[in-house]
Amino acid sequence: MSKKMLMAVLFVLLMSLLLTTGVAMAREDLIRVEVINKSEESASISLIGETAFYFLTIPAGETKWFTVERDVYQRTTFACSGSNSGTVDLMTHKRLIFTRCYGNAPNWGEPGMEKIHIDDSPAGKNWFYK
């Protein structure tokens, strides 16, 4: 094998190793968020982070998965003809469940799987969706 051919093969191998490592590192900065909308209306969440902005919309009765950057976001939630603001910690994978619009809120779920009811948030608890 000629010296030029050997250098070309080594260059290609090195570039593929660097690209593979870069993609793997980039994936570590992303997480999946599952949003289940059990309400009678469309629901939306506006997320404003340090380096990213997302506007997630989930039609009534549907489940959607989103991939977002890991961060603690300022959020505004629009559901059941109302809205509220706060923060949401999306440093780990989450499942958010919008509850029915009318009636009392069911239990709040558990950290990592949180139920969202606009008029009844879990004050005083260490929840990720505040």
pLDDT of residue 94: 87
SS (H, E, C) 30-76: EEEEEEEECCCCCEEEEEECCCCEEEEEECCCCEEEEEEECEEEEEE
Mean pLDDT, residues 21-43:
79
- Domain coordinates in residue numbering, the chain: 30-116
Using CA atoms, how far apart are residues 50 and 95, in angstroms rounded to an integer? 22
| CB 129 within 8 Å of CB 115 | no
Using CA atoms, how far apart are residues 95 and 107, in angstroms rounded to an integer? 15
Mean pLDDT, residues 43-63:
93
Q: What percent of the chain has pLDDT over 90?
A: 34
Going by C-alpha positions, the residue among 109, 79, 76, 74 that lies closest to residue 94 is 109
| CB 96 within 8 Å of CB 116 | yes
The pTM for the full model equals 0.67
pLDDT of residue 109: 59
pLDDT of residue 125: 45
The CATH code that applies to domain 30-116 is 2.60.40.10
pLDDT of residue 108: 60
Using CA atoms, how far apart are residues 129 and 108, in angstroms rounded to an integer? 10
